[in-house]
Structure 1
Amino acid sequence: MNLRYTFDDMKKVDRSQLGEMVPLELFRTIRLIGLNQGLPLGGKGTTLTIGRKIGESLPVTSVEELIMLFEDLKIGLPRIVHSDEHKINIAVEDCFCKGLPTLAEEKMICDLEGAILEGALTKILGRKISVKEIKCNATGHEHCEYEVKLSS
């Protein structure tokens, strides 16, 4: 008996009455109340570990496929705003936090999405990278943005 799920397993939905969608409010509640407010240190270690694992499991082999999958999964609308041999900046429009009240403190809350990018890009590029959220809708920025640092 296999006790591990794959990304393909997640597509298998058999809910005849409620269908395949759950409200964004539920996802936000799990992320921001359950993980962020319910775990020590805002759940950062947990969301980073989860996000990297999700990113590694995604069926993508190129940055373009990753961008399309982010859109298909309604994570957000990513676009590359800067790219050179040392770093890539990815802006994500319409992120899950869009429309939430602006936080009084400069606290970035979309670390899961950055960790998903990190896991997927590490697999795609075949090299060590790190991803840091540098802008967030929840802190009043026009979009969420991630700085991807590429190792040599």
Structure 2
Amino acid sequence: MLQYTFEDMKKMDRSHLGDMVPLELFRTIRLIGLNQGLPLGGKGTTLTIGRKIGESLPAATVEELLMLFESLKIGIPRIIHSDEYKINIAVEDCFCKGLPSLEEEKMICDLEGAILEGSLTKILGRRVAVKEIKCNATGHEHCEYEVKL
């Protein structure tokens, strides 16, 4: 079975359209296709996908992961709390920034949290659990993830 790597994703040959797709297409795939189109809001699917993506990222340290998050335009992450039990990571300018606020307290950036989880599990050499605790789409000032170590 063919398996792609993160390095494969950098190989492009689109002479007219280039290497970018509009954010609205990504949002449509995520929020209409997966979130609205799959059972349970596609949560199991996005968690599985995100963890796999995170494991494949070429980051060997937490700092490298945060820089990669920004260079891939996932968002601008910063650690706002860190101790021996948990790390809180705020993500500014997340993909959901600017969407209409949801009436319910439904977090929609589970893919990004799962990417963090997969990558941090690999980097730290032990299983971590990541949960989104704030989301732009519910009116918070940024998206925020709690990483349980």
- Pairwise TM-score range, normalised by the shorter structure: over 0.9
- Taking the aligned partners of 1:9 and 1:128, their CA distance within structure 2 comes to 26
- Taking the aligned partners of 2:101 and 2:124, their CA distance within structure 1 comes to 35
Secondary structure in 1 aligned to 2:104?
coil
RMSD across aligned C-alpha pairs, in angstroms? 0.5
Secondary structure in 2 aligned to 1:89?
strand
How far does residue 108 in structure 1 lie from its aligned partner after superposition? 0.0
Within 5 A, what are the aligned runs for 1:50-89? 50-89=49-88
- Taking the aligned partners of 1:20 and 1:138, their CA distance within structure 2 comes to 27
- The match for 2:111 is 112
Within 5 A, what are the aligned runs for 1:1-152? 3-150=2-149
- Taking the aligned partners of 1:6 and 1:24, their CA distance within structure 2 comes to 23
**Corresponding letter in the other structure for 2:13:** D
How many residue pairs align between the two structures?
Answer: 149
- Taking the aligned partners of 1:101 and 1:148, their CA distance within structure 2 comes to 27
Moved over 3 A (4+): none
- Taking the aligned partners of 2:76 and 2:59, their CA distance within structure 1 comes to 16
Secondary structure in 1 aligned to 2:118?
helix
- Taking the aligned partners of 1:113 and 1:128, their CA distance within structure 2 comes to 17
- Taking the aligned partners of 1:123 and 1:65, their CA distance within structure 2 comes to 13
Identity of aligned residues (%): 87
Q: Deviations over 1:3-56 (max 9, x none)?
A: 110000000010000000000000000000000000000000000000000000
**Corresponding letter in the other structure for 1:64:** E
Q: Deviations over 1:83-105 (max 9, x none)?
A: 00000000000000000000000
TM-score, L = length of structure 1: 0.97
**Corresponding letter in the other structure for 2:55:** E
TM-score, L = length of structure 2: 0.99
- Taking the aligned partners of 2:147 and 2:3, their CA distance within structure 1 comes to 29
**Gap runs ≥5 in structure 1:** none
- Taking the aligned partners of 2:36 and 2:69, their CA distance within structure 1 comes to 25
Secondary structure in 2 aligned to 1:92?
strand
